[in-house]
Amino acid sequence: DQQVKQNSPSLSVQEGRISILNCDYTNSMFDYFLWYKKYPAEGPTFLISISSIKDKNEDGRFTVFLNKSAKHLSLHIVPSQPGDSAVYFCAARFTGNQFYFGTGTSLTVIP
Amino acid sequence: DTGVSQNPRHKITKRGQNVTFRCDPISEHNRLYWYRQTLGQGPEFLTYFQNEAQLEKSRLLSDRFSAERPKGSFSTLEIQRTEQGDSAMYLCASQASGQETQYFGPGTRLLVL
């Protein structure tokens, strides 16, 4: 059972425009959410996170929005840059320190 | 480099052989996780250590899999009698107490022929 879902396997965006990556989850007991970025042949790299008690967290070009009633979170990247091209995973923490990951969205930023 | 390191980076083995992977976490991190990632999927939780204690194990971790963290520093993941379905990327991550962020190593890619 996939508790964290990323329904878009890929996304292409023009450089300078906004990238919006989406993630849905099913377990209302998740208390913390994270986004990771992964380049080929490397492990995932932490990008940004949000606690379940907040609805927005911003860090430079990256903003994560959480809608608990819809069990939905999104990552906004503005402006998108070619170096942002990577696979993005969302992850959710269940109490007890188990983390569940989505299947990833491959972002391509076109120069 | 003070990040998480994993060895070997690649391993090719024949079905039925045993393999062992090593993870060296960030030195001050007392939590250590193992994940498995197959093509087109996200990392799947396998097991978790706090210091030397193995606190949680996924049902994905069959009895052919064993993990240790004997001194609360590095960890090993052993797979006995490997099967072709074990072919995957095995990722290790470490985390400091009180922090939510995990830091991942580069992974060990296993291919079972």
pLDDT at A98 over 90: no
Query: Which of B100, B103, B104, B109 to probe the A interface (max A CBs under 10 A)?
Result: B100
Average pLDDT of span B36-57? 91
From chain A, pick out residues whose CB is under 8 angstroms from the CB of B35.
101
Distance from CA of A23 to the nearest CA of B (A): 13
**Closest partner residue to B43 among A49, A97, A101, by Cβ?**
A101
Q: DSSP state, B4? A: -
The beta strand positions in chain A, using DSSP E, are: 4-5, 10-14, 19-25, 32-38, 45-51, 56-59, 62-67, 72-77, 86-94, 98-101, 105-110
pLDDT at A80 over 90: yes
Four-residue CA torsion sign, A81, A99, B88, B96: positive
Largest alpha-carbon pair distance within chain B?
41
Chain mean pLDDT for chain B? 93
Average pLDDT of span B17-24? 98
Contact, A25 vs A5, CB < 8 A? yes
Residue B57 pLDDT grade (very low, low, confident, very high; cuts 50, 70, 90): confident
* B62 three-state secondary structure: coil
Verify whether the Cβ–Cβ distance A32 to B100 is below 8 Å: yes
Q: What is the pLDDT of residue A66?
A: 98
pLDDT at A96 over 70: no
Verify whether the Cβ–Cβ distance B44 to A101 is below 8 Å: yes
Q: What is the pLDDT of residue B9?
A: 96
Average pLDDT of span A84-94? 95
A29-71 per-position pLDDT tens digit: 999 999 999 998 889 999 999 999 999 999 999 999 999 999 9
